[in-house]
Amino acid sequence: MSDGGKMPENTLSRSQKKLIDAAIQIQKDTPEEFGFVCRSMVSASMPHSKVRGFQYKRENNKFKLVIIGNEDAGGIPYGTYPRLILSWLSGEIVKNKSREIVLGQSLSDFMKKLGLIVSGGRWGTVSRFKDQLKRLFSAVITCTYEDKKTGEWFVASMNIADKAQIFWNPKIPEQIDLFNSKILLGEYFYQEVLKSPIPVDIRAINALKDSSLALDIYFWITYRMSYLYNSTLIPFDRLQEQFGGGYEKTPHGRYEFKRKFLHQLKKVLVIYPEAKIIVKQNGLLLLPSHSHIKIKKK
For residue range 104-155, list pLDDT tens digits in order: 888 899 999 998 989 887 778 998 999 999 999 999 999 999 988 898 999 9
- Average model confidence (pLDDT) across the chain: 89
295 within domain boundaries = no
What are the C-alpha distances in Å from 133 to residues 3, 84, 244? 41, 10, 23
Domain count, the chain: 1
180 within domain boundaries = yes
Of 154-168, 203-217, 243-257, least confident by mean pLDDT is 243-257
CB crowding 96-126: b at 16 or more within 10 Å, else e? eeebebebbbbbbbbbeebebebeeeeeebb
Q: Can you give the pLDDT at residue 193?
A: 95
161 within domain boundaries = yes
Identify the sign of the CA torsion 77, 120, 103, 205: positive
Domain containing 135 equals 9-287
Average pLDDT over residues 264-280: 96
2 within domain boundaries = no
294 within domain boundaries = no
Q: Residue 87 carries which side chain, given as an amino acid letter?
A: S
Average pLDDT over residues 9-27: 79
297 within domain boundaries = no
Of 259, 174, 267, 258, give the one whose Cα is nearest residue 215: 267
Q: Which residue has the higher pLDDT, 178 or 127?
A: 127
Q: Can you give the pLDDT at residue 244?
A: 79
Distance of alpha carbon 290 from alpha carbon 258, whole angstroms: 25
Q: Which residue has the higher pLDDT, 297 or 85?
A: 85
185: pLDDT strictly greater than 60: yes
226 within domain boundaries = yes
Identify the sign of the CA torsion 201, 85, 80, 160: positive
48 within domain boundaries = yes
DSSP annotation of 146: E
Average pLDDT over residues 58-82: 93
Distance of alpha carbon 232 from alpha carbon 284, whole angstroms: 8
